[in-house]
Amino acid sequence: MAVTLEQVLAEIPSDRRERIEQRAAELIAEELNLREMRRLRKLTQARLSKKLKIGQEGVSRIEKRTDLYLSTLRSYVEGVGGKLSLVVEFPDRAPVLLTGLGEPEPPARRRSAKAKTPTKPKATPPTPRPAKAPPRSGRAA
């Protein structure tokens, strides 16, 4: 005969059951979707949209998506006051913090005027002009 979950839980001592329920509540609290995170920070979609410099409907679309660019997710998290970190967990080693993904690229470095090597235009010899022919007289020779 099959045993129900209620029967298994009834056999667990009450103090252990309380610890299990407390840990379950902690785990549930650690997991939030984007909308819940925004609400936890007491932000409306309109206020967040101004921070992100997009329309309110853009915030709504981001919150409904299941697949995001990391740069979009990073902007959203920073918009609600957080910092996005990506951690890779392997079964045989300690977790590794992944960097360089979804971060804005640094602006291209411009060379200063001192660092530039001036380029001189190529010197071209002047084009010789043909000599002017003497004026013709009206007589035929």
Which residues are within 8 A (CB) of 102 and not within 5 positions of it... i.e. 6 or more apart? Answer: 69, 70, 71, 73, 74, 84, 86
Calpha distance 79→59 (Å, rounded): 11
What amino acid occupies position 23? R
CB 37 within 8 A of CB 68: no
Q: How confident is the model at residue 95 (pLDDT cuts 50, 70, 90)?
A: very high
What are 33-51's pLDDT values in tens digits?
Answer: 999 999 989 999 999 999 9
Candidate from 2-11, 62-71, 80-89 with smallest mean pLDDT: 2-11
Residue 112 has pLDDT above 60, yes or no: no
Choose between 106 and 7: higher pLDDT. Answer: 7
Domains of the chain: 34-98 (1.10.260.40)
Calpha distance 77→83 (Å, rounded): 6
For 57-71, what is the mean pLDDT?
95
Mean pLDDT of the chain: 83
CB 45 within 8 A of CB 61: no
What are 116-140's pLDDT values in tens digits?
Answer: 555 655 666 666 666 666 666 665 5
Q: How confident is the model at residue 86 (pLDDT cuts 50, 70, 90)?
A: very high
What tokens does 67 get? 């697949």
Query: Which pLDDT belongs to residue 94?
Result: 95
Query: Which pLDDT belongs to residue 39?
Result: 94
Q: What is the pTM of this model?
A: 0.54
CA dist 83 → 8, 75, 86 (Å): 41, 9, 10
What tokens does 117 get? 């090597």
Count the neighbouring beta carbons within 10 Å of the beta carbon of residue 38: 21
Query: Which pLDDT belongs to residue 51?
Result: 95
